[in-house]
Amino acid sequence: MSKYFEDLAQSVIAGQQERVKELTRQALDAGTDPVEIINQGLISGMNVVGARFKVGQMFVPEVLMSARAMNGGMELVKPLLVGQELPSAGKVVLGTVKGDLHDIGKNLVGMMLESAGFTVVNLGVDAGPEKFLQAIKEHKPGVIGLSALLTTTMLSMKDTIEVLKEEGLRTEVKVIVGGAPISQDFAEEIGADGFAPDAASATDLCKKLLA
Amino acid sequence: MSNYFEDLAHSVIAGQQDRVKQLTQQALDAGTDPVEIINQGLISGMNVVGARFKVGQMFVPEVLMSARAMNGGMELVKPLLVGQELPSAGKVVLGTVKGDLHDIGKNLVGMMLESAGFTVVNLGVDAGPQKFLQAIKEHKPGVIGMSALLTTTMLSMKDTIEVLKEEGLRNKVKVIVGGAPISQDFADEIGADGFAPDAASATDLCKKLLA
Amino acid sequence: MTKSQYVRANYQVNATPQFHVLSEHQCENIYYGALEALERTGAEVHSRTALEIFRQGGCRVDGNRVRFPTRLVERAVSSTPSRVVISDRHGHRSMFLEGSNVYYGPGPTNTYTLDPFTGERRRPKKSDTVRAGIVCDALPNIAYAMDNGTPMDVTPTLADVHAFQALLENTVKPIIHWGFGIEQYQDIVEMAAAVAGGLAELQRNPFIVLYSESSPPLRHSEEAIDKAIFAAKTDIPVIYTPCTFAGGVAPATMAGSLVISVADFLVGLVAGQLVREGASFIMGGLISTMDMSSSILSYGATELSLLSAGLTDVARHMKIPMFSTGGCSDSKVIDVQTGIEAAFSILIAGLSGASIVHDCNYMEYGATGSLELMVMDDEIIGMVKRILEGIEVDDEHLAVDVIDAVGPGGHFLGEMHTMAHFRDFWAPTLINRLRYDGWKAEGSKTMGQRIREKTQNIINTHKPEKLPDEVLRQIQTVVDRAEAREAAKKISK
């Protein structure tokens, strides 16, 4: 069976969604425990991808393809996790701030988080303080992530944090920020809980904040 | 008369050999003291050239033209220095070392030395230890200057110094070295008395060594 | 989906960026200028052997002065192979010096070295040549090895032989090497033949190129021209390279300097072709300006790039491979000046399509060799290679279908098309593109620090392929014999 899990992990690493689906289906047909498929096959492959990305052996588009491939397998396994709910690593609400239509970075973070076992609620672009407020009330996430690419829109991150304070929700949720013009300094200035320079570190950051 | 000397000096600075000759001849015809022509006109102009070269306002070809212009005037004045021999700043034997046919740097040094009042004996290129030895015996210079452009020929500088030692002539003459691959370190290593990085400093160096 | 079936008329493609300094007519004019200088002024030759060869070959010889009839020079040019293939130490053909193929590497005989561990500027030792071999061997964009400094802890007249031994034993890449004279060249060829498995094998697939430098204007020392003759006789490729600096040993005009450089190369070429018609020659030309303040031959001058590219155009016109210059600097340490000068000259030399671009290690107008500079240049060469690959334009690369599939506001990161092509982007190894915090987390290192670390890392960890023990013994025998010969000379003196 270990050879099979190796094949599955390799297909995730290679970003071959169709192959991942096929192998997952075969395994399920053979009666393999869904949790094992996830842990020893899908997530095991994604861990390799993460490690390779960090040392510069794999690049963003490849990580994305791997995440997609993994999610392809996940979709098949999830419905079968009867009773044994897959333990979520946590819930994260993501959004690009008001006035900003750039979402490639945020979506990347979303895919990375999902492939690391987080539940992600994606608010899309142009998300003002009210939209985040509503999402927190509705989804009760552990973390909200604000993204901005423009220096003209990054200031609205502070507005959102202020609104959370006013509503008495600031201590209920961790706030992380990211995007081209954002830095650790800026995160501290506006009173965010964390900053991630890239999608891979965003995952690590969420894990740390929710530990 | 001071205006005349100024004209002469300026013609030296401008490198106008024919004008320098003409002005010198006029002055001589008018009965001016040859030593005054030299000191207040020709050398005075050349001093300005030297100063301007050092601060990067004049460049090598211009210095060369000035030196030529000055020498043009000198040739006319020298024969008239009856009794009052123009005091030579010293005698220097120059040569490019054995196996090396590069002589532009050495010739530049020669012109600079001459314009500073030195008597120069130029051995040309491909000058081995014996050629220097013979020249020392014949001309009894205060300084010999060896030049090399090639890293493959610079080693022969040491041979010449060794031969001088063997012949008991090493302390009769100062040895200076120069050329693209030569440095102060190298000069120290082979036991030379001095190193000059460029033609202008070679003149200063000779003055210092013979002071 | 592809476009409907179509054919095109008069469609032209730039497979690479286009760059020429001189037109065909201008090249011709410079070539004719050189022919006229050789026929009218001629050259001074200080070798009895060469004078005799020229006389018998039909030149007009008057004392040391040799005047070259145009027909003789033209015959020499036309009998010179338009391509030279250099192998690696295994005899695998690896450098194809033809057309506008470009190969980069270091230069030789620096009198100082910048120690990549201490930062000290000091005299090179044989152990530094070993390091040079290792670093050349390791760097992907360095095509061949050269010594990076004359070792000064060995018998001075055998520094060339020792340097060659050190390179030979520490890199499989081709080696371009200099020599004091014929005796040393014989030692070097013998060592190389021991590796190749005999002289005939070395001649068939040469992995060494000999190198001889003449001193313009129009003057050729015995050593310089005899070395070219030796190479032709021995049937080993040779680079004949006049060291021309505008305003000093050549006219202050760019065209006049090119005339001197071409003419002086042709003197060596004619000698070689008279000895062996069809001998492999590579046109050298270190060509730059004389700095009119310091009187150095500048290795960082913009004119070095301009003149070298012009000379490369003339070489291509003559259909002779070109040995050009780049990746060098007048700076004394690895600093911003080094970066500017190295990047500029590597780019222009690359665009010019010179066969070999040497001196990717020269600091301080050539006085100092630096392995750190070579490591930095390796990165710059990578960038330039990407530029030279140009932009492909066809249906696949126009990607109109993908644009339609992604649509407005989408992104291309997750497209198979992106997967298929993003690795064509040049990926840096030293250039830092981390986010500020990431860079800070890695120690806030400057480019200089990163270069030094990489250089040290290569020297500490790269293990070049070893030569067989028997070959090592044969090489050592040649070195020992050369030592005995020099010792005997010293005694007889």
So what's the pLDDT on residue C414? Answer: 80
Per DSSP, which regions of C316-393 are E strands?
A: 323-325, 356-358, 362-363, 368-370
| Domain stops at, among A33, A58, A80 | A80
Residue the block writes with tokens 């053909």? C93
Contacts of C295 by beta carbon, 8 Å cutoff, 6+ apart: B60, B105, B108, B198, B199, C248
Residues B38-67 pLDDT 10s? 989 998 998 899 889 888 899 988 988 998
Maximum pairwise Cα distance, chain A:
55
Taking the CB of residue C443, how many other CB atoms lie within 10 A of it?
10
So what's the pLDDT on residue C5? Answer: 66
In a domain? residue A187: yes
Two tokens, residue A109: 């973070």
Between B152 and C196, the more confident residue is C196
Two tokens, residue C85: 């293939």
On average, the pLDDT of chain C sits at: 95
Taking the CB of residue B190, how many other CB atoms lie within 10 A of it?
19
Least Cα separation, residue C343 to chain A (angstroms): 25
Q: Do chains C and B touch (3 or more CB pairs under 8 A)?
A: yes
So what's the pLDDT on residue A8? Answer: 96
Distances (CA, A) of B75 to B70, B72, B120, C196, C231: 9, 5, 15, 65, 50
The complex's ipTM? 0.80
On average, the pLDDT of chain B sits at: 89
Residues from chain A contacting residue C416 (CB–CB below 8 Å): 65
So what's the pLDDT on residue A84? Answer: 67
So what's the pLDDT on residue B89? Answer: 83
Amino acid at C255: A
**Cβ–Cβ < 8 Å for B180, B169:** no
Number of domains chain B contains: 2
So what's the pLDDT on residue A1? Answer: 56
Q: Secondary structure of A99-155 in the HEC alphabet?
A: CCCCCHHHHHHHHHHHHCCCEEEECCCCECHHHHHHHHHHHCCCEEEEECCCCCCCC
Return the SS3 of A95. strand
CA angle centred on A29, ends A25 and A31, rounded to 5°: 120
So what's the pLDDT on residue A83? Answer: 67
Given pLDDT bands bounded at 50, 70 and 90, which one contains residue B83?
low
Residues C346-385 pLDDT 10s? 999 999 999 999 999 999 999 999 999 999 999 999 999 9
Picking from B148, B177, B60, the residue whose alpha carbon sits closest to that of residue B112 is: B60
Residues B162-199 pLDDT 10s? 999 999 999 999 999 998 888 898 899 999 999 998 88
pLDDT at C65 over 90: yes
Q: Do chains C and A touch (3 or more CB pairs under 8 A)?
A: yes
Given pLDDT bands bounded at 50, 70 and 90, which one contains residue A192?
very high
Amino acid at A64: L
Residues A136-191 pLDDT 10s? 999 999 999 999 988 888 888 999 999 999 999 999 999 999 998 899 999 999 99
Residues C391-414 pLDDT 10s? 999 999 999 999 999 999 888 888
So what's the pLDDT on residue B175? Answer: 96
Q: How far apart are CA B183 and CA B179, in angstroms?
A: 8
Most B CBs within 10 A among C44, C154, C215, hence the mutation to make, goes to C215
CA B3 to chain centre: 29
Q: What percent of chain A stands above pLDDT 70?
A: 97
Interface of B with C (CB under 8 A): 53, 56, 59-61, 99-102, 104-105, 108, 126, 149-152, 154-155, 180-181, 183, 185-186, 197-199
Q: How far apart are CA A36 and CA C425, in angstroms?
A: 38
Q: How far apart are CA B147 and CA B96, in angstroms?
A: 5
Helix (H) and strand (E) counts in chain A: 10, 5
| pTM of the complete model | 0.89
Mean pLDDT of A45-71: 88
So what's the pLDDT on residue C98? Answer: 97
Given pLDDT bands bounded at 50, 70 and 90, which one contains residue A85?
low
Query: Are residue B74 and residue B102 in the same domain, yes or no?
Result: no
Query: Are residue B61 and residue B107 in the same domain, yes or no?
Result: no
Q: Do C413 and A61 touch (CB under 8 A)?
A: yes
Picking from B56, B32, B35, the residue whose alpha carbon sits closest to that of residue B44 is: B35
**Cβ–Cβ < 8 Å for C102, C349:** yes
User: C42-74 as b/e, with b when 16 or more CB fall inside 10 Å?
Assistant: bbbbbbebbbebbeebebebeebebbbeeebbe
Interface of C with B (CB under 8 A): 46, 109-112, 123, 150, 156-157, 178, 180, 213, 215, 219-223, 243, 247-249, 252, 290, 292-297, 365-367
Contacts of A121 by beta carbon, 8 Å cutoff, 6+ apart: A91, A92, A93, A94, A135, A139, A141
Query: Are residue A118 and residue A184 in the same domain, yes or no?
Result: yes
Q: Which of A121-135, B52-66, B95-109, C218-232 has the lowest mean pLDDT?
A: B95-109
Q: Where are the domains of chain C?
A: 77-388, 395-424
Q: Which of A127-141, C43-57, C184-198, C411-425 has the lowest mean pLDDT?
A: C411-425
Q: Do B53 and C213 touch (CB under 8 A)?
A: no
Taking the CB of residue B99, how many other CB atoms lie within 10 A of it?
23
Mean pLDDT of B126-135: 93
Give the sign of the dihedral formed by CA B51, CA B56, CA B62, CA B64. Answer: positive
In a domain? residue B85: no
Least Cα separation, residue C223 to chain B (angstroms): 7
Query: Are residue B115 and residue B71 in the same domain, yes or no?
Result: no
pLDDT at B84 over 70: no
Residues from chain C contacting residue A108 (CB–CB below 8 Å): 413
So what's the pLDDT on residue B181? Answer: 82
In a domain? residue B86: no
Two tokens, residue A152: 């003209």
Query: Are residue A205 and residue A127 in the same domain, yes or no?
Result: yes
In a domain? residue A85: no
DSSP state of C332: S
Residues C313-336 pLDDT 10s? 999 999 999 999 999 999 999 999
**Cβ–Cβ < 8 Å for C27, C56:** no
So what's the pLDDT on residue C2? Answer: 53
pLDDT at C231 over 90: yes
| C77-388 topology per CATH | TIM Barrel (3.20.20)
Picking from A20, A13, A17, the residue whose alpha carbon sits closest to that of residue A57 is: A13
Given pLDDT bands bounded at 50, 70 and 90, which one contains residue B149?
confident
DSSP state of A37: I
CATH code of A100's domain: 3.40.50.280
Two tokens, residue C339: 């970066």
Q: How far apart are CA C137 and CA C131, in angstroms?
A: 10
Q: How far apart are CA C324 and CA C359, in angstroms?
A: 9
Contacts of C224 by beta carbon, 8 Å cutoff, 6+ apart: C212, C213, C214, C215, C268
In a domain? residue A193: yes
Q: How far apart are CA A113 and CA C421, in angstroms?
A: 26
Query: Are residue A97 and residue A181 in the same domain, yes or no?
Result: yes
**Cβ–Cβ < 8 Å for B7, B44:** no
Helix (H) and strand (E) counts in chain C: 18, 18
Least Cα separation, residue C419 to chain A (angstroms): 6
| Domain stops at, among A80, A106, A130 | A80
So what's the pLDDT on residue C298? Answer: 94
pLDDT at C224 over 90: yes
What is the chain A residue with the closest CA to C408?
A101
Between A115 and A209, the more confident residue is A209
Picking from C358, C355, C334, C336, the residue whose alpha carbon sits closest to that of residue C345 is: C358
**Cβ–Cβ < 8 Å for C97, C84:** yes
Given pLDDT bands bounded at 50, 70 and 90, which one contains residue A54?
confident
**Cβ–Cβ < 8 Å for C104, C377:** yes
So what's the pLDDT on residue C390? Answer: 95
Query: Are residue B53 and residue B120 in the same domain, yes or no?
Result: no
Q: How far apart are CA C136 and CA C149, in angstroms?
A: 13
Distances (CA, A) of C467 to A169, C62, C161, C196: 71, 50, 17, 11
In a domain? residue A180: yes
In sequence order, what are the beta bridge partners of B122?
B94
pLDDT at C182 over 80: yes
Two tokens, residue A3: 């050879």
Mean pLDDT of C72-79: 98
Which domain does B196 fall in, by range?
Answer: 91-210
Given pLDDT bands bounded at 50, 70 and 90, which one contains residue A81?
confident
Query: Are residue A138 and residue A187 in the same domain, yes or no?
Result: yes
Least Cα separation, residue B52 to chain C (angstroms): 11
Mean pLDDT of C239-246: 95
CA C56 to chain centre: 33
In a domain? residue A86: no
| Domain stops at, among A27, A56, A80 | A80
Given pLDDT bands bounded at 50, 70 and 90, which one contains residue C24?
very high
Query: Are residue B169 and residue B76 in the same domain, yes or no?
Result: no
Query: Are residue A123 and residue A186 in the same domain, yes or no?
Result: yes
Query: Are residue B51 and residue B150 in the same domain, yes or no?
Result: no
Query: Are residue A61 and residue A126 in the same domain, yes or no?
Result: no
CATH code of B12's domain: 1.10.1240.10
Phi, psi of C140 (to 5 degrees): -65, -30
Phi, psi of C211 (to 5 degrees): -145, 125
pLDDT at C493 over 70: no
pLDDT at A2 over 80: no
So what's the pLDDT on residue B1? Answer: 56
Mean pLDDT of A51-68: 88
Q: Do chains B and A touch (3 or more CB pairs under 8 A)?
A: no
So what's the pLDDT on residue B86? Answer: 67
So what's the pLDDT on residue B81? Answer: 80
